[in-house]
């Protein structure tokens, strides 16, 4: 997880020198907003997936957290290109982050603290492992609930909120599982610590609606598009926990996790316990587009030519 340069407050600096002050508001209270974006190598290009949608969501998160973005969407796109090129990366995980730095007091109202921004690009393979994409992962229903409506904004990617996801994933790891699925405040299925959830039952697809304390995932929206294009019915609705035990197939979606089958929930096999045909059909389309073997028919990819740099490639 390292690259040569990080874009830090207006300039590219060596990775080791990209530092923050210990009294930064963000360090004490989680006062940051961020995105996770992927670029895939297609020929000599970094093909950035849904770049604009990610920066639109970043600016939305800034608005909710009252941390103004110092950059416009166009400027974010420019520095993304600049940083990938400087690092010679065609395939990368891209992390823009806006946070509150050091102010005069440690009061909770951070608006007197300066706004800082950074963008890092780093190599990152399959989030839950290459094997998981084929064989699926074992998960548990978390004992932790997602943050309830009106408490925090799950639609925004705000740093401090991720303590909830950390509790979910650490509990799962302690129990020998790859991931946890949290329920919302009403006991309906919400999402994983960093992934949205889909279920297939009798050839129909279901996913929790935005009212179930989920992040409005960009991969989720791509998958809904692909699935409908393949002729499946996709319903966004409240999903009772037992549907996880009834489903023929379950899969996670997310920029990091991509599209990953779930093979068991609470030690009970999902369907036949192997990746099912619906999951595979959607994976084939998604990976076909990001790897350049299928047409990018919805214009999801932004192509950035990246010359190989000092042999540094992700």
Ligand X SMILES: Cc1ncc(COP(=O)(O)O)c(C=O)c1O
Of 101, 159, 208, 217, the residue at the interface with ligand X (CB under 6 A) is 217
Taking CB under 6 A as the criterion, the residue among 24, 80, 147, 196 binding ligand X is 196
When the beta carbons of 113 and 257 are compared against ligand X, the nearer one is: 257
**Shortest distance, position 214 Cβ to ligand X, whole Å:** 6
**Contact mark string toward ligand X, 18..57, x via CB under 6 A:** ------------------x---------------------
Tell me the window of 13-21, 60-68, 191-199, 289-297 that interacts with ligand X (CB under 6 A): 191-199
Only one of the segments 89-97, 114-122, 250-258, 297-305 lies at the binding site for ligand X (rule: CB under 6 A); that segment is: 250-258
Nearest CA-CA partner of 245 in 201, 186, 183: 201
Residue 182: Cβ within 10 Å count: 26
Active-site residue flag, 202: no
Answer yes or no whether residue 87 interacts with ligand X by CB under 6 A: no
Q: Report 127-166 residues binding ligand X (CB under 6 A).
A: 165
Report, in Å, the least distance between residue 312 CB and ligand X: 26
Smallest separation (angstroms) from ligand X to the CB of 202: 26
Site string for ligand X, 159-188 (x = CB under 6 A): ------x-----------------------
Question: Binding of ligand X at residue 255 (CB under 6 A)?
Answer: yes
User: Using the rule CB under 6 A, which residue among 39, 65, 200, 215 binds ligand X?
Assistant: 215
- The active-site residue out of 157, 202, 280, 297 is 157
d(CA 252, CA 138): 12
* Min CB(151)–ligand X separation in Å: 15
The reply on whether position 249 binds ligand X by CB under 6 A is no
Residues that bind ligand X (CB under 6 A): 36, 165, 191, 194-196, 215, 217-220, 253-255
């Amino acid at each position: 997880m390292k690259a040569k340069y990080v874009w830090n407050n207006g300039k590219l600096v060596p990775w080791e020198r990209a530092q923050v002050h210990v009294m930064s508001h963000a360090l004490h209270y989680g006062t940051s907003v961020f995105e996770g974006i992927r670029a895939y190598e297609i020929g000599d290009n970094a093909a950035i997936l849904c770049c604009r949608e990610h920066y639109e969501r970043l600016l939305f998160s800034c608005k909710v957290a009252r941390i103004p973005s110092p950059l416009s969407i166009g400027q974010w796109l420019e520095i993304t290109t600049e940083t990938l090129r400087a690092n010679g990366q065609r395939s990368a995980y891209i992390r823009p982050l806006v946070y509150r730095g050091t102010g005069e007091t440690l009061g909770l109202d951070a608006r007197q603290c300066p706004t800082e921004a950074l963008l890092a690009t780093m190599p990152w393979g399959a989030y839950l492992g290459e094997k998981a994409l084929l064989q699926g992962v074992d998960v548990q229903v978390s004992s932790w609930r997602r943050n309830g409506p009106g408490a925090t904004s799950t639609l925004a990617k705000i740093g401090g909120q991720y303590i909830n996801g950390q509790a979910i994933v650490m509990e799962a790891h302690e129990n020998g599982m790859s991931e946890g699925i949290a329920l919302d405040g009403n006991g309906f299925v919400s999402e994983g610590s960093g992934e949205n959830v889909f279920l297939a039952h009798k050839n129909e697809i279901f996913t929790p609606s935005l009212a179930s304390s989920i992040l409005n995932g960009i991969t989720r929206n791509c998958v809904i598009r692909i699935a409908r294009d393949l002729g499946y019915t996709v319903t966004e609705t409240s999903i009772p926990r037992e549907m996880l035990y009834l489903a023929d197939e379950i899969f996670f979606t997310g920029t990091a996790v991509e599209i990953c089958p779930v093979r068991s929930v609470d030690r009970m096999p999902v369907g036949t316990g192997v990746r099912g045909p619906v999951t595979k059909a959607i994976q084939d389309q998604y990976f076909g587009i990001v790897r350049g073997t299928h047409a990018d028919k919805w214009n999801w990819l932004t192509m950035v030519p990246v010359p190989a740099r000092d042999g540094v490639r992700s």
